[in-house]
Every structure is written in C-alpha cells, then in structure tokens.
C-alpha cells in the first residue's frame, strides 16, 4: 500500500487540500489541524512524490551538470562545490559526463530537458554552434564554469591575466628564460590566452619571446612528460618552466628528476591549477591557484539566482599564487 497525500488526508480526517497546505506551509488552517496532520504524516512516514509535485506546477529543484572528463581532480573539485551549494539550496544535481563527445552531449541535453531541469551548468567545455542553438531553445538559465561563450554567462578566472601574473612572478624571481608548457593550442579559452599572458609578461619586462620555448600539449600528464623531454633533448636554454596545468607540471617534474635535475636548485617550476596534486608533489609546487571549489559553489548559486529571476553577470573569480617549494630566486 502506497502512502500518499490521500491516505494521509483520509487518516487525518481532512481533505488533501489541507494536507497540501500544511505540507507547503501555506496558510489556511488552524493550529490544531496543523499539528494533527503533521503527526499523521510522521506516523505514516509520508514523503511527497517529487514527480507529482513537479507535474502539478511546483519547481522541480533539479539542475543538470554537463562535464567532460569526470575523473580528474579539477572536475571533481568543481563538482564538489557545485553539489555542496545545491544541497544547501535544496536542489538536486544530475551529472552528465559528456566525455567531450558531441553526440553524447546532445543526448544528455535531451534527457535533461525531459527531466524538467530548471537550470544547466556546463563545466570546462567548449560549445559547438549546434549546441548553442539547442541550448538557447531550451529557454532555461545556463551558466558556464571555467569556460566561456558569448551567448552565456560564466564564472572563471581570467586566464590571460592569471598567466601573465604567473609569468611575472617568475620574472620577479629572476627568471627570464622560461619554458612554457602550454595546453591545447586550439583551445580558445584555456589554451591560447595563457600563451598570450606568458608572452605579454615577457615583453612588458623587456624580454624577448622565444617561440621555441613554447611547446603545445593537451593539459595531461603524458604531454607534460613528452614535452619536457623534448625540451631537454633539444637542449633548450631555460632556467624555469611554467606548466599550464598541474598534471603537466608533475609530468615535467618527473622527467626533470630523471635527468638528474634538482628542483628548485637547478630548475624552477610554477604550475597552473592548484589541485591537490600540486600540494602532493615532491617538492610541493608553487602554483597559480584557481579556486575550483568556490567556482562550483558560487556558480551554482549564481544559477539559482538566475532561475529565481535575478539578473546575473559573468564573473572573473580571483586567482592567487600559492608559494611552495618549487621555485628558486635567481640573483
């Protein structure tokens, strides 16, 4: 026997309307009936059916999250913030690991639509033309985290500025020969801007940008290793490396170590991201820290504000440099 609002009403000797009222704390009943209904609800262990509530016009309090590469520290930290915020706001989160696959993304978008999500969060993923069109047609609030698109609002760090400052930090430590282990060259959000920031900082301090010191990878550990190895084999001239992700930094570290290079004595490294990985590295990495948890947390709150009719604006969230032990000051 299912226990519904009907059975509660019956047992309490009132109408379903009344039960619904006390359930939703609307007005229109005496203290007496309130207590009575509440008591019966508790006795019977009543739980409202969210599907029915949603159908009947109540908010579904569901938000969808599109995320490529679920199993990375960056993604899971953002997700953590996202989920914490959602929980505090009494919302549920349906996660969708798109795997950076267009087909899969499309499929998910449909599913989420069917499930009547009230808002959508897209994490670190670039949007194609068709996706943008589809998203717009969904007519629900959308917020991007750690990525950007002219059609939607976002929360992210300013990659260009962050990269500029990381480079500047290195320069102020006396480094001018900086090997830049870049991420994906074709990535207009997390790829190129970091390269530009690096280049501009060099120029602004009167140093020449040497193209051979910029090597493109894909943000992953392996590419950090491969490119570091290449740089070493080519005997490129550099005293420090700036890696565009923690994973790449750790990969570079591994190669450097195997070449007998002491960090930071013989080579300095600054990383970009600030996941737990950069802390757990040996030595711990000085890093341009992105507040991933906060991005997730704040991002979800921005989305909910938007759902509630408030206007939200794109936000560049502050980054910071966390000084650890991978950089040596050159005199």
Does the protein bind its own copies through residue 135 (CB under 8 A)?
Answer: no
DSSP state letter for 284: P
In this chain, which of 10, 48, 158, 196 binds DNA, going by CB under 7 A? 48
293 burial level (CB within 10 Å; 0-12, 13-18, 19+): middle
8 A C-beta contact, residue 211 and residue 242: no
8 A C-beta contact, residue 78 and residue 123: yes
Site map 160..199 versus its own copies, x via CB under 8 A: ----------------------------------------
Does the protein bind DNA through residue 151 (CB under 7 A)?
Answer: no
5 burial level (CB within 10 Å; 0-12, 13-18, 19+): buried
Does the protein bind its own copies through residue 137 (CB under 8 A)?
Answer: yes
Does the protein bind DNA through residue 6 (CB under 7 A)?
Answer: yes
Does the protein bind DNA through residue 33 (CB under 7 A)?
Answer: yes
Report the distance separating Cα 133 and Cα 38, nearest Å: 47
In this chain, which of 6, 15, 116, 310 binds its own copies, going by CB under 8 A? 116
**DSSP H helix total and E strand total for the chain:** 13, 12
Does the protein bind its own copies through residue 322 (CB under 8 A)?
Answer: no
In this chain, which of 35, 39, 43, 49 binds DNA, going by CB under 7 A? 49
- Number of residues near its own copies (by CB under 8 A): 53
Residue 188: CB minimum distance to its own copies, A: 26
67 burial level (CB within 10 Å; 0-12, 13-18, 19+): buried
Based on CB atoms, which residue is closest to its own copies, 111 or 330? 111
In this chain, which of 26, 39, 59, 87 binds its own copies, going by CB under 8 A? 87
- Cα 271-84-246 angle, rounded to 5 deg: 10
Q: Which residues are 124's β-sheet partners?
A: none
Residues 6+ apart with CB under 8 A from 179: 213, 215, 228, 231, 236, 238, 240, 241, 242
Does the protein bind DNA through residue 17 (CB under 7 A)?
Answer: yes
- Number of residues near DNA (by CB under 7 A): 31
184 binds, among its own copies, DNA, none (CB under 5 to 8 A by kind): none
* DSSP sequence for 165-214: HHHHHHHHTT---EEEEE--TT-TTTTHHHHHHHHHHHHHTT----GGGE
Residue 93: CB minimum distance to DNA, A: 21
Residues that bind its own copies (CB under 8 A): 45, 47-52, 54-55, 60, 70-73, 75-77, 79-80, 83-84, 87, 92-97, 104, 107-108, 110-111, 113-116, 137, 221, 247, 250-251, 253-254, 257-258, 276-277, 279-280, 282, 284, 293
Q: Which residues bind DNA (CB under 7 A)?
A: 2, 4-6, 13-18, 20-21, 23-24, 26-30, 32-33, 46-49, 52-53, 55-58
């Amino acid at each position: 026997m299912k226990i519904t609002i009907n059975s509660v009403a019956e047992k309490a000797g009132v109408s379903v309307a009344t039960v619904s009222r006390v359930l939703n704390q609307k007005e229109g009943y005496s203290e007496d009936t309130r207590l009575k209904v509440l008591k019966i609800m508790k006795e019977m262990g009543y739980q409202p059916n969210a599907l029915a509530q949603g159908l009947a016009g109540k908010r579904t309090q569901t938000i969808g999250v599109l995320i490529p590469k679920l199993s990375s520290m960056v993604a899971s930290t953002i997700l953590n913030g996202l989920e914490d915020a959602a929980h505090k706001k009494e919302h549920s989160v349906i996660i969708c690991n798109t795997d950076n696959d267009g087909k899969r993304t499309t499929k998910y978008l449909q599913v989420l639509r069917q499930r009547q999500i009230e808002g959508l969060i897209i994490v670190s993923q670039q949007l194609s033309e068709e996706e943008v069109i589809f998203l717009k047609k969904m007519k629900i609030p959308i917020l991007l985290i750690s990525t950007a698109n002219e059609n939607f609002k976002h929360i992210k760090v300013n990659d260009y500025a962050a990269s500029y400052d990381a480079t500047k930090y290195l320069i102020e430590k006396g480094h001018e020969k900086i090997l830049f282990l870049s991420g994906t060259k074709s990535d207009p959000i997390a790829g190129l801007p970091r390269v530009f920031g690096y280049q501009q900082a060099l120029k602004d301090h009167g140093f020449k940008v040497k193209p051979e010191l910029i090597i493109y990878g894909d943000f992953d550990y392996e590419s950090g290793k491969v490119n570091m190895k290449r740089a070493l084999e080519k005997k490129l001239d550099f005293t420090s490396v700036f890696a565009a992700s923690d994973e790449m930094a750790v990969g570079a570290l591994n190669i450097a170590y195997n070449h007998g290079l002491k960090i930071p004595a013989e080579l300095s490294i600054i990383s970009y991201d600030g996941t737990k990985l950069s802390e757990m590295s040996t030595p711990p990495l000085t890093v341009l820290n992105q507040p991933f948890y906060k991005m997730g947390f704040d991002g979800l709150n921005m989305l909910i504000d938007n759902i509630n009719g408030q206007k939200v604006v794109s936000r560049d969230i502050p980054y910071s440099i966390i000084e650890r032990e991978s950089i040596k000051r050159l005199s």
